[in-house]
Amino acid sequence: TKFVYAFTEGNKDLKDLLGGKGANLAEMTNLGLPVPPGFTVTTEACCLYLENGTEPPALRDEVGEHLAALERQMDKRLGQADDPLLVSVRSGAKFSMPGMMDTVLNIGLSDASVTGLAAQAGDERFAWDSYRRLIQMFGKTVLGVDGELFEEALEEAKGAKGAVTDVELDAADLRTLVDRFKDIVRTATGRDFPQDPREQMDLAIRAVFDSWNTDRAKLYRRQERIPGDLGTAVNVCSMVFGNLGPDSGTGVAFTRDPASGQQGVYGDYLQNAQGEDVVAGIRNTVPLADLEQLDRKSYDELMQIMETLELHYKDLCDIEFTIERGKLWMLQTRVGKRTAAAAFRIATQLVDQGLIDEAEALQRVNGAQLAQLMFPRFDLTAKADQIGRGIAASPGAAVGKAVFDSYTAVKWSRSGEKVILIRRETNPDDLDGMIAAEGILTSRGGKTSHAAVVARGMGKTCVCGAEDLEVDTKRRQLTAPAPDGKGTLVIDEGDVVSIDGSTGKVYRGEVPVVPSPVVEYFEGRMHAGADDADELVQAVHRVMAYADRVRRLRVRANADNAEDAARARRFGAQGIGLCRTEHMFLGERRELVERLILADTDTERSQALDALLPLQKGDFKELFEAMDGLPVTVRLLDPPLHEFLPDITELSVRVALAEARKDANENDLRLLQAVHRLHEQNPMLGLRGVRLGLVIPGLFTMQVRAIAEAAAERKAAKGDPRAEIMIPLVGTVQELEIVRDEAERVIEEIEREHGVELKLTLGTMIELPRAALTAGQIAESADFFSFGTNDLTQTVWGFSRDDVEASFFTAYLEKGIFGVSPFETIDKDGVGKLVSDAVADGRATRPDLKLGVCGEHGGDPESVHFFHEVGLDYVSCSPFRIPVARLEAGRAAA
Ligand code: PEP
Ligand code: MG
pLDDT in tens, 685-721: 999 999 999 999 899 999 999 999 999 999 999 999 9
Mean pLDDT along residues 777-785: 98
Phi, psi angles (nearest 5°) of residue 413: -70, -30
User: What is the rounded distance in angstroms from the CA atom of residue 575 to the CA atom of residue 334?
Assistant: 42
The CATH number covering residue 787 comes to 3.20.20.60
Residue at 544 is within a domain:
no
Q: Which of 450, 558, 633, 767 to mutate to test the pocket of ligand 1 (most atoms within 8 A of CB)?
A: 767
Return the number of other C-beta atoms located less than 10 Å from residue 801's C-beta: 23
| Residue 223: band (very low, low, confident or very high) from pLDDT cuts 50, 70, 90 | low
Element at 88 (helix H, strand E): strand 87-93
Residue 283, in any domain of the structure: yes
Do both 301 and 162 map to the same domain? no
Examine the fold and report which residue of 215, 238, 261 is the final residue of a domain before the chain moves on: 238
Could you tell me the residue range of the domain that residue 485 belongs to? Answer: 376-515
User: Do 824 and 722 share a domain, yes or no?
Assistant: yes
Q: Determine the pLDDT at residue 806.
A: 66
Statement to judge: residues 254 and 234 lie in one domain: no
**Which residue's CA lies nearest to atom 4 of ligand 1?**
788
The more confident residue out of 290 and 455 is 290
**Amino acid at site 88:** S
* pLDDT, average across residues 846-870: 97
Give residue 270's region: left, alpha or beta (phi > 0; psi -120 to 50): beta
Q: Are strands 850-853 and 784-787 parallel, antiparallel or unpaired?
A: parallel
Question: Is 675 within a domain?
Answer: no
Report pLDDT for 882.
97
Quick check: 468 pLDDT over 60? yes
- Which ligand has an atom closest to residue 790 CA? 1
Which residue lies with its CA nearest to atom 10 of ligand 1?
791
* 515 phi/psi in degrees, rounded to 5: -75, 165
Listed in sequence order, the residues at least 6 apart from 281 whose beta carbon sits closer than 8 Å to its beta carbon are none
Half-sphere exposure of 482 (CA within 13 A, CB side): 6
The amino acid present at 440, given as its one-letter code, is: I
Task: Report how far residue 577's alpha carbon sits from residue 583's, in angstroms, rounded to the nearest whole number.
Answer: 15
CA of 793 to the centre of ligand 2 (A): 10
Q: Are residues 186 and 292 in the same domain?
A: no
Q: Which of 454, 578, 634 to mutate to test the pocket of ligand 1 (most atoms within 8 A of CB)?
A: 578
Task: Note the pLDDT of residue 163.
Answer: 84
pLDDT digits (tens, 9 = 90+) for 370-414: 998 998 888 878 888 999 999 888 878 999 999 999 999 999 998
- Given a cut of 80, whether residue 655 has pLDDT beyond it is yes
Tell me whether residue 360 is in a domain: no
* pLDDT over 60 (residue 225): yes
Name the pLDDT band for 482 (thresholds 50, 70, 90). confident
- Please say if the pLDDT value at position 222 is more than 80: no
561 & 493 share domain: no
| Positions marked active-site | 450, 854
Considering the domain architecture, whether residues 398 and 457 belong to the same structural domain is answered as yes
For all residues of the chain together, what is the average pLDDT? 92
> Pocket residues for ligand 1 (CB within 6 Å)?
578, 580, 638, 767, 788-791, 854-855
Give dist(CA 227, CA 97) in Å, integer: 12
pLDDT digits (tens, 9 = 90+) for 612-650: 999 999 999 999 999 999 999 999 999 888 888 888 888
CATH of the domain at 181: 1.20.80.30
Check residue 99 and give its pLDDT: 66
Number of domains in the chain: 4
Same domain, 717 and 767: yes
Phi, then psi, of 268 in degrees rounded to 5: -135, 150
Predicted ipTM > 0.85? yes
Which residue positions form the known binding site for Mg(2+)?
A: 767, 791
Which pLDDT band holds residue 322 (cuts at 50, 70, 90)?
very high
Distance 559 CA to ligand 1 centre (A): 13
Q: Are 201 and 236 in contact (CB under 8 A)?
A: yes
| Ligand 2 centroid, distance to 792 Cα (angstroms) | 8
With contact defined as beta carbons under 8 Å apart, do 15 and 27 qualify? no
Q: Is residue 79 part of a domain?
A: yes
Same domain, 167 and 299: no
- Domain assignment present for residue 144? The answer is yes
DSSP character at residue 587: G
Domain boundary among 463, 485, 515: 515
* Displacement of CA 85 from its chain's centroid (Å): 45
Which residue's CA is minimally distant from atom 6 of ligand 1? 788
Specify the higher pLDDT residue, 127 or 96. Answer: 127
Known binding residues are: 580, 635, 767, 788-791
Q: Are residues 280 and 153 in the same domain?
A: no
Convert the pLDDT of each residue in 88-121 to its tens digit. Answer: 999 999 988 766 677 899 999 999 999 999 999 9
Region 778-783: mean pLDDT is 98
Using alpha carbons, list the distances in angstroms from residue 477 to 66, 186, 417, 499, 516: 70, 60, 18, 16, 32
165 and 132 together in one domain? yes
Instruction: For residue 856, give the ligand 1 atom closest to its CA.
Output: 3
- At residue 429, the pLDDT reads 76
Convert the pLDDT of each residue in 458-467 to its tens digit.
768 999 989 8
Whether residue 109 is found in the same domain as residue 130: yes
Query: Does some domain include residue 600?
Result: no
Per the CB < 8 A criterion, the answer to whether 246 and 271 are in contact is yes
pLDDT above 60 (res 281): no
Cβ-in-10-Å burial (0-12, 13-18, 19+) of 32 comes to exposed
537 φ, ψ (degrees, to nearest 5): -60, -40
Residue type, 553: L
CA of 855 to the centre of ligand 1 (A): 5
Determine the distance separating the centroid of ligand 2 and the alpha carbon of 523, expressed in angstroms: 29
44: nearest Cα among 88, 5, 7: 5
Within-domain flag for 112: yes
CATH number at residue 294: 3.30.470.20
Residue 148's pLDDT is 93
d(CA 589, CA 732): 32
pLDDT in tens, 553-604: 999 999 999 999 999 999 999 999 999 998 788 877 888 888 888 888 999 9
Exposure string for 511-548, b = 16+ CB within 10 A, e = fewer = bebeebbbbebbeeebeeeeeebeebbbbbbbbbebbe
Q: In which band, very low, low, confident or very high, does the pLDDT at 668 lie, cut at 50, 70 and 90?
A: confident
Query: Picking from 72-86, 225-239, 295-309, 537-551, which range would have the lowest pLDDT averaged per residue?
Result: 225-239
Query: Which of 338, 362, 392 corresponds to the end of one domain?
Result: 338
Are residues 411 and 324 both part of a single domain?
A: no
Decide if pLDDT at 809 tops 80.
no
Residue 340 is predicted with a pLDDT of: 85
Ligand showing the shortest atom-to-Cα distance for residue 859: 1
